[in-house]
Structure 1
Amino acid sequence: DGHILVTMGDKLIEADAVRELLRTFAEQQLDVVVGVLPCRKESSGGRILLRADGRLAGIVETRDIQKAAILEEAYRVIALGEKERAAALEALAVEVEKTIPNEEKRRIALGPLAEALSERDMAAVVKALQAGDPEMRFISLGKNRFAAAQAAEACYENAALYLFKAPALYEGLKWITADNAQKEEYLTDAVNYLANAVDAEGRAKFAVGYAVLDPEEVLTYNNPEELLAVEEAFQRRLAKTEMGKAAVTVVEKPTLPKSRFRTVRAWLQLLERGGQALNATLNDIYGADEPLHAERIATFRRVLQRFGELYGYERKVILVRAPGRVNLMGRHVEHRGGNVNVMAINKETVLVAAPREDDVVNISNTNSVRFPDRQFDIGKEVAGLPWDDWLNYIDNERVQNLVKSSGGDWVNYVKAAFLRLQFQFKNVRLRGIDAVYEGNIPIAAGLSSSSALVVATAEAAAALNEMDVTPQDFVDLCGEGEWYVGSRGGAGDHAAMKFGRRGAVTQIGFFPFKVGRAVPFPDEYRLVVANSHIKAQKMTNAKDTFNQRVASYEFGLMLLKEAYPQWAERMARLRDVNPETLGVRPSVIYQMLLGLPERMTPAEVWATLGGKHAAALERICRSHAQPEEYLIRSVVLYGIAECARARMCLNYLEKGDIVGLGRLMQISHDGDRVSRLVEGEGAGADGSVEPSASMVPYDYNAPDSYLQRLIEDLQSEDPERVAAAQIHLQPGGYACSTSEIDGMVDVAGKVPGVVGAQLSGAGLGGCVMVLVHRDSVEALQQTLAEKYYYPRRLEPDITVCVPVKGSGLLDIATGGN
């Protein structure tokens, strides 16, 4: 006996909503009352279907409506003529994958029809429909029959707030089944039975009604977007209470200082008039370099002007900058726990951004031809997708398809920053921005233009949402955010951009994250970066190669732990495979490498590691297309040796041993090398690097004979042999260079005054960095132009890098507003 109030845990319900439910229940003398809300277009809540006389017919889940619509369209397709069928089937299959992105959920909802549509198999579609019930394309509730389109246009959705007389509830519970598109049990089955039950004379056995509730009084969520709205409303309500005023801060508008947040007009006036405050800020960032100051001011003005044209000159905005970077030593190893030795450089991404009241992000670029205007809603990007874990989200089939279909669009890097921050701060609904960007970092050239876009966006998003993010967390979030575009690298690039110090090389460590010492870059030397004009597109096939190498690292470490269980706990990451950590002689490291296979097919990887490590293998293999073979031994040797080189890098700078540092750069590049320039046969008449003509393949393998010779050298008493066999002097074989990059390195290395040259960045294209005496810079530029650029009819693209300050908001303290 008595009355039973039923609600769900995913609600924020005001007392007035419950009062309205009670009032309706009492006034209409009901056995059951269902709380309903005006239907929201994007909501996935169940739809309330009404009879012609306005009485409740029942509640139908959104997935059941989707299933009915798919079946209805499938029946239409098979009735078409032969010429029309193929195109219609393709359109239906695409729509089904968009409507139900998860493959397993499609299978549950549609049964054999799901596979038939996935295969675009018309005969299988016909067979699946013939085996099913044609009535399933309709929604049936008692004697009431609704078309899918009719159900989708319902006026109300289920608020999942019910009041039952106890006997009615007990009777209704008997009729709950899992006979629905999701094969789950729903309380709505009980309501549907009670709403349609009749006695022998056809009279309703139960009085079932509904109460229309105020959406502001029943905040519900069925997906992450709605959850964020609920959380935001809860925080606002809590802030109004006495208890909440002290505990909760709800930011209506950013409260940034005037030195960082002023109108577009005020920024333009400040840049126009100059002054001591502006000069001091530019000196702090770029050093006393007047031509560079003038160039940067022109860029700032250009971006501000474009923003003013689009959004108005009285909008308050921030100016954000994120520099490109070079990594002097520590390539491909930061995600293995290795160090990087980085400089933020005088090429950067700049953006002007203003906050919005909603979660829409509008982005424009001063180069609108190459980077068209884009817009997205943060909430809609996460709606209906996994919300528990960032990796689960980016591995979701729908997310991966969206990223792939956008073909490397620049908006994906902006999304990466916003979405990773939103996942980190699930209790805050991020405010969107209006933003204009400009950058002069060469694209796909190994100077991290894409990472700079992520960092600049994250700086703006964090500042305008007043998020409490430590610099270390900021770097980690940017690194993980960039996984959204598909590559699974570390956070070394982002750390370089955030923690770069003007005039210095900074060492940064990972796991745990640590900003180490900074050593001044030598005054008498310059770091010159030359663009090969070979682009490594991370959004396309290059991503597979990058991730295959990371997989080789992972597989190699698993194999080492299996072979040497006594050291497994010490080998948390590849950087730990070194004599100091394991307490062994260097020759033991080479003995361990001898136990690794040089290469493994995917089948061999699974056969060897699949049992114990099956879950890890599935995660790793999802990141890339499977190669014929993984490079195991040479990649692991490269990683171990590069970690050692990265640890030692600043020691060479501190001692002033620039020639020794240059030698390390050459060895490091050999670890990525795939070819070598040979003089004479195959070279051009003028000694230029002809495309492939003067390049011969380079053997980057690490065969048994090579490792055995190193062991013998270490065990000899010959000082020269022992010195040459040290781990940091072994290149290994990561093999992510190109013949063009190798040729540039070899050409540069022959210029007097050059002490070292190597690949810059992840590889498969991009840039070469050259460490050269300042008196030889012009000769280097001329040689590269004559022997690389001009023979290929390429415009020389050579930058003399200046170490600048890391990323952040422009902060100029004046009396302006």
Structure 2
Amino acid sequence: MKSVDELWEFFENRYGDNGLKKGSYSAPGRVNLIGEHTDYNDGFVLPMAIEKNVTMLGQLRHDRKIKVYSLDYDTELCFNLDKLEKDEEHTWVNYVMGVADEIEKKGHKLKGMNLVFTGNVPQGSGLSSSAALEVVTAMTMADLNELDIDPVEMALLCQAAENNFVGVACGIMDQYISRLGHRDHALLIDCRTNEYELIPFKDKRYRIVICNSKARRGLVDSEYNTRRSECNQAVAFFNEKLGRNITALRDVKLNEVGQYRGELSDSVYRRAHHVVSENERVLASVEALKNNDFEKFGQLMIESHQSLRDDYEVSCRELDCLVDVALKQEGVLGARMTGAGFGGCTVNLVDINYVEVFIKGIKEGYKRETGIEPEIYVSRPAEGARRLEVDRDGGNPGKEGKNR
């Protein structure tokens, strides 16, 4: 990816410099460390920002037009803030328009802008390149227009953009971690209340290694709907049986799931067992990280994958293969699938001294079993969205500013 200074050179060659306010901004992708399929059950998730970002440069215009150039698609599109219409052909621009739409719904009158963006968050891998684009767009528009938008409000605004304008019913996790993440911290999110807590992940002996299976995710939508329906069946059952208000599986205890196993269908029981036990694993992981107990955290990751594979049945041959190969490598404390399932990525907790050996072993073992060459990314917990301070008159290009 180009440096920020190189991006400014491209920007000025394309748009010039009209003397109005300008700035450069960055927002990261994310990986969910643990807490899968708990979000729509009012549960807990524990993502971290990764060291892959979408970077956007912007400058105000004298009108109400937005010109936005995607370096990755090598395409420029133009739209008027007074007439926002969904683009069915160039779907990436809908994330930009959606954010502008939600900002204006809040009563803010935006000025026109010239925008250029690029990113190295792998698309289609479940690492939230779309949320990173939304958040960096919101940060750019807010800062250039001198709008005071609280970080939580900005994350919720970006979620609303994806829900309302793009038309994807996402939860809050991706936008929260991209906006609120901090270096060397994971982020515990309560998906019922939207409350969050930064959790230290500071031990430099370990790295998170993400392995992209490159498996095609053909069943996600239909199976996702089936899983939600089965969870809702479990909620209705327990609401009737337990004599208290049960609005989500978050409200059910693990021993209660076991107590009524015989009265539930096998599939509904296993779905409920996964969600309730996964919530417990997230909270146990938080305690393990606070106590710097990475061996415990790694074991919880392994248990999470087993539950996703056997109880929730959202893994696939390729993901199981990546986890099996990972757990045979020296220096690996934990491995699990991450994301919706049926493809996508695994997340692995690896001793820093064995990262290179791990990567070699995964590439060889996975290709031997599947014929696929996996993509592998190594990351520490990264900083959330931020303005990049660049002095165009000879200062320090690409210096990170504060996340604000």
TM-score class, shorter: 0.7 to 0.9
Is the contact between residue 330 and residue 340 of structure 1 (CA under 8 Å) also seen in structure 2?
Answer: yes
Secondary structure, counterpart of 2:348 in structure 1: strand
User: Could you tell me how far apart the structure 2 residues matched to 1:777 and 1:670 are?
Assistant: 23
**Residue 23 of structure 2, aligned match among 315, 318, 327:** 318
User: Could you tell me how far apart the structure 2 residues matched to 1:361 and 1:790 are?
Assistant: 49
Q: Deviations along 1:275-309, whole A, 9 cap, x unmatched?
A: xxxxxxxxxxxxxxxxxxxx7xx431232222212
Secondary structure, counterpart of 1:590 in structure 2: helix
Alignment of 1:642-653 (within 5 A): 642-653=278-289
Q: CA deviation at 1:476?
A: 1.9
**Residue 589 of structure 1, aligned match among 257, 275, 297:** 257
User: Could you tell me how far apart the structure 2 residues matched to 1:535 and 1:417 are?
Assistant: 29
User: Could you tell me how far apart the structure 1 residues matched to 2:195 and 2:382 are?
Assistant: 20
Do residues 656 (structure 1) and 292 (structure 2) align?
Answer: yes
Name 2:174's counterpart in structure 1. 493
**Residue 414 of structure 1, aligned match among 96, 110, 126:** 96
Is the contact between residue 526 and residue 800 of structure 1 (CA under 8 Å) also seen in structure 2?
Answer: yes
Secondary structure, counterpart of 2:9 in structure 1: helix
User: Could you tell me how far apart the structure 2 residues matched to 1:657 and 1:761 are?
Assistant: 24
Name 1:557's counterpart in structure 2. 235
Name 1:808's counterpart in structure 2. 386
Q: CA deviation at 1:368?
A: 3.2
User: Could you tell me how far apart the structure 2 residues matched to 1:464 and 1:534 are?
Assistant: 40
Name 1:782's counterpart in structure 2. 360
**Residue 448 of structure 1, aligned match among 128, 136, 143:** 128
Identity fraction in percent: 30
Is the contact between residue 335 and residue 489 of structure 1 (CA under 8 Å) also seen in structure 2?
Answer: no
Q: CA deviation at 1:669?
A: 1.3
Is the contact between residue 34 and residue 338 of structure 2 (CA under 8 Å) also seen in structure 1?
Answer: no
Do residues 330 (structure 1) and 35 (structure 2) align?
Answer: yes
AA partner of residue 362 (structure 1): K
Write 1 or 2 for the structure with the bigger share of helix.
Answer: 1
Give the direction of change, closer, same or farther, for the CA distance of 1:467–1:634 in structure 2 (3 Å limit).
farther
Give the direction of change, closer, same or farther, for the CA distance of 1:550–1:463 in structure 2 (3 Å limit).
farther
Alignment of 1:1-400 (within 5 A): 298-315=2-19, 316-369=21-74, 372-381=75-84
**Residue 567 of structure 1, aligned match among 244, 258, 267:** 244
Give the direction of change, closer, same or farther, for the CA distance of 1:428–1:658 in structure 2 (3 Å limit).
closer
Give the direction of change, closer, same or farther, for the CA distance of 1:517–1:346 in structure 2 (3 Å limit).
closer
Is the contact between residue 744 and residue 788 of structure 1 (CA under 8 Å) also seen in structure 2?
Answer: yes
AA partner of residue 354 (structure 2): S
Rg larger for: 1
Give the direction of change, closer, same or farther, for the CA distance of 1:644–1:809 in structure 2 (3 Å limit).
same
Q: CA deviation at 1:738?
A: 2.5
Q: CA deviation at 1:795?
A: 4.7
User: Could you tell me how far apart the structure 2 residues matched to 1:461 and 1:492 are?
Assistant: 22
Secondary structure, counterpart of 2:82 in structure 1: helix
**Residue 515 of structure 1, aligned match among 196, 208, 225:** 196
Q: CA deviation at 1:649?
A: 0.9
Give the direction of change, closer, same or farther, for the CA distance of 1:466–1:305 in structure 2 (3 Å limit).
same
Q: CA deviation at 1:790?
A: 6.5
Is the contact between residue 745 and residue 757 of structure 1 (CA under 8 Å) also seen in structure 2?
Answer: yes
Is the contact between residue 353 and residue 460 of structure 1 (CA under 8 Å) also seen in structure 2?
Answer: yes
Structure 1: which 5+ residue stretches go unaligned? 1-294, 383-401, 579-585, 600-631, 674-699, 701-731
AA partner of residue 470 (structure 1): D
AA partner of residue 307 (structure 1): F
Name 1:576's counterpart in structure 2. 251
Higher relative contact order (CA 8 A, sep 6+): 2
Q: CA deviation at 1:513?
A: 2.3
AA partner of residue 574 (structure 1): L
Write 1 or 2 for the structure with the bigger share of strand.
Answer: 2
Give the direction of change, closer, same or farther, for the CA distance of 1:572–1:812 in structure 2 (3 Å limit).
farther
Is the contact between residue 593 and residue 637 of structure 1 (CA under 8 Å) also seen in structure 2?
Answer: no
Secondary structure, counterpart of 2:258 in structure 1: helix
User: Could you tell me how far apart the structure 1 residues matched to 2:196 and 2:255 are?
Assistant: 31
Name 1:691's counterpart in structure 2. none
AA partner of residue 210 (structure 2): V
Is the contact between residue 72 and residue 119 of structure 2 (CA under 8 Å) also seen in structure 1?
Answer: no
Is the contact between residue 361 and residue 433 of structure 1 (CA under 8 Å) also seen in structure 2?
Answer: yes
Do residues 768 (structure 1) and 327 (structure 2) align?
Answer: no
Is the contact between residue 25 and residue 55 of structure 2 (CA under 8 Å) also seen in structure 1?
Answer: yes
Give the direction of change, closer, same or farther, for the CA distance of 1:429–1:517 in structure 2 (3 Å limit).
closer
Name 1:668's counterpart in structure 2. 304
Is the contact between residue 334 and residue 340 of structure 1 (CA under 8 Å) also seen in structure 2?
Answer: yes
Give the direction of change, closer, same or farther, for the CA distance of 1:639–1:349 in structure 2 (3 Å limit).
same
Structure 2: which 5+ residue stretches go unaligned? 396-404
Q: Deviations along 1:383-423, whole A, 9 cap, x unmatched?
A: xxxxxxxxxxxxxxxxxxx67x44x7212222332233333
Give the direction of change, closer, same or farther, for the CA distance of 1:452–1:785 in structure 2 (3 Å limit).
same
